[in-house]
Amino acid sequence: MNVLLINGSPKGDASNSMRLASAFLDGMRDAMPDIGLRTMAVSTADISPCKGCFACWSKTPGECCMHDDMTGVLKSEKWADVTIWSFPLYYFGVPGPLKTLIDRQLPTMLPFMVERSDGVGNGAHPSRFDRSNKRNVLISTCGFYTSKGNYDAVTGMFDHICGRSNYETVFCGQGELFRVRELRGKTDPYLIVVRQAGREFAAAGAIGAETRGRLSEPILPKETYEAMADASWGIDKDVAAGKAEQSGQGGKARASAPQALAFTRQMALLYNPKSYSGTLRVIEMDYTDIGEVYQISLTEQEATVVEGRAATATTVIKTPFELWQRIARGEIEGSQALGQGLYTVEGDFSLMLHWDSVFGTGDGSSDSATVRKSSRPAARPPLMLASLLPLTVFWACVPIDATLGSMVVLGVCALEPLLLHRHELTVYDDISMAMASLLALAMLAGVGNLWAQPASYLLFGAMWAASCATSVPFTAYYVKALYGGDKALGNPLFMSCNRILTLAWAAVFALNAVVAQVLASTPAHAYSGLVVSGLSLLMGLFTKWFQGFYPAWVAAGRPSPLKG
């Protein structure tokens, strides 16, 4: 299949519509990897307006008297099986340069009058070449919240050119969102659907009804999008309409809001009321480099922005405005910047842990490649239980009955990979199962009665401690999924917190070894498992507290004892 992609946007490669066209092409390649592709950008092409001389009909039939880039365009159209027209909606039509290209299609038509059979207009001109196997796709974005009712002029023109409904369309409202990197968490899922549309078109010649329905869904709710669009201009509606009250300073109305205010308002418009915690939360944005302070109040219904410190803030974010913009654009991870001390957070830190759910932006890391279907389901994140279970069973069962307990341990180690086959297993899981199995075999052989129990704690603790010398400490493997997956491993705050906890747990296991050794020769030997379990429970409570305390401590600008 040969495809001609015509980029009709004056913005060229920066076109929002081209992002959709590229996703559509990716989908076509998913279905047909050997697609032949030619692209042409109208913005850089040398195409003069049609003179209306009709020389291409009489003096030089089928050939324009002007020799410019249009000659190559017409040849590519004959070569292509599919022509994709990518363009933004300009004043309810196609951009001027693209209309010039369309006007120059006249050499492809014969001058004779014929009647149409599709009910479009009155009269037509037949094509000079067979178009029966030619297909066309229109891909376009517009600035309104929906495409519905805004493409009448475009579809009317292409009904005449291609025949009524004899072409596919992907018309997308809210097109300006695609240029905002801060909103990739919202726009990338839409591009995934566009890619699916391309796959269906290549495979079946049409976009399926379900996919078309998903394409028609707005990316953001109407009220949210229109409020964001209005705020993006940094101009007060009343001022623009000449209705604003005169200020007391020289009688001049305030002409525009600061860029930071417009940015903060847009951020607030993404607030997800479903995340309401039951109490009023006030986020104070202190942009330290420009001396601007704004507060965002999060209520059950909405988020509102006020200038200055109008209320007592529950969370204070002190950051350079330029840095916060970079974070929003995805140029730097917010958690990474926080760990590096580039900004600070005071007050309720729990809000930062759930920022994406509160403001509903997602992480912006979606890739349209993820729509490719895999032959096997992706593994679920690893479970710390997989590493703890074999030795926990050893510690609990062996002191009560060495033989039966050891057999239970071997059974658990044999069944664990089967029971957790849907989860990713780490090297620590394998080491833990190997240690528990070897210790159980030693007990069954009658050679581990005195040393196996304390040795198990020492070996397990040594594994935890040794992991701190690697790039990823033990606990980080198991909790990273709760903090964005592998990207959390690049967060110094996350890594230092996990190194501290991993070392602390290693120390507890060493203490457990001492306790087990002391109790080994006493009547309380059978209860050593319960004693060390109590110590582990206390450490578990400490871990839960530390996970909340430590990030808030460092986020407030206080020193960290370790660096990730």
> Residue 116 maps to which CATH number?
3.40.50.360
Compute the C-alpha angle 386/392/396, nearest 5°.
155
Query: What is the reported pLDDT for 226?
Result: 75
Same domain, 52 and 168: yes
Q: Is 367 part of any domain?
A: no
- Where do we find the tokens 């809000």? 351
Last residue in a domain, options 326, 359, 392: 359
Query: What is the reported pLDDT for 313?
Result: 92
Same domain, 328 and 421: no
Prediction pTM value: 0.58
By three-state DSSP, how is residue 216 classified? coil
Q: Is 250 part of any domain?
A: no
Same domain, 34 and 165: yes
Q: Is 291 part of any domain?
A: yes
Contact 502, 547 (CB under 8 A): no
Same domain, 41 and 187: yes
Same domain, 388 and 277: no
pLDDT in tens, 161-187: 888 878 999 999 988 888 776 677 778
Last residue in a domain, options 308, 324, 359: 359
Amino acid sitting at position 482? L
> How many whole angstroms from its chain centre is CA 370?
11
Query: What is the reported pLDDT for 411?
Result: 92
By three-state DSSP, how is residue 344 classified? strand
Query: What is the reported pLDDT for 515?
Result: 80
Regions of the chain with pLDDT less than 50: 244-257, 361-376, 563-564
Query: What is the reported pLDDT for 371?
Result: 37
Same domain, 447 and 408: yes
Last residue in a domain, options 163, 191, 219: 219
Same domain, 392 and 274: no
Same domain, 192 and 266: no
Q: Is 96 part of any domain?
A: yes
Same domain, 354 and 409: no
Q: Tell me the sheet residues that pair with 32.
A: none
Q: Is 366 part of any domain?
A: no
Q: Which residue segment(s) compose the domain that 305 sits in?
A: 229-235+256-359
pLDDT in tens, 408-423: 989 989 988 888 878 8
Q: Kindly report the average pLDDT of the chain as a whole number.
A: 82
Number of domains in the chain: 3
Q: What is the end-to-end Cα distance of the chain in Å, rounded?
A: 51
pLDDT in tens, 337-394: 887 788 988 888 877 777 777 886 444 333 333 333 433 455 677 788 888 888 888 8
Can you tell me the distance from the alpha carbon of 437 to that of 409, in angstroms, rounded to the nearest whole number? Answer: 7
Same domain, 423 and 346: no
Query: What is the reported pLDDT for 284?
Result: 94
Give 264-307 as a DSSP string: HHHHHHT--GGG--SS-EEEEEEETTTTEEEEEEE-SS-EEEEE
Q: Is 145 part of any domain?
A: yes
Same domain, 393 and 355: no
Q: Is 472 part of any domain?
A: yes
Same domain, 182 and 263: no
Q: Is 173 part of any domain?
A: yes
CATH number at residue 318: 3.30.1050.10
Q: Please state whether 312 falls in left (phi above 0), alpha (psi between -120 and 50) or beta.
A: beta
- Where do we find the tokens 């020289």? 250
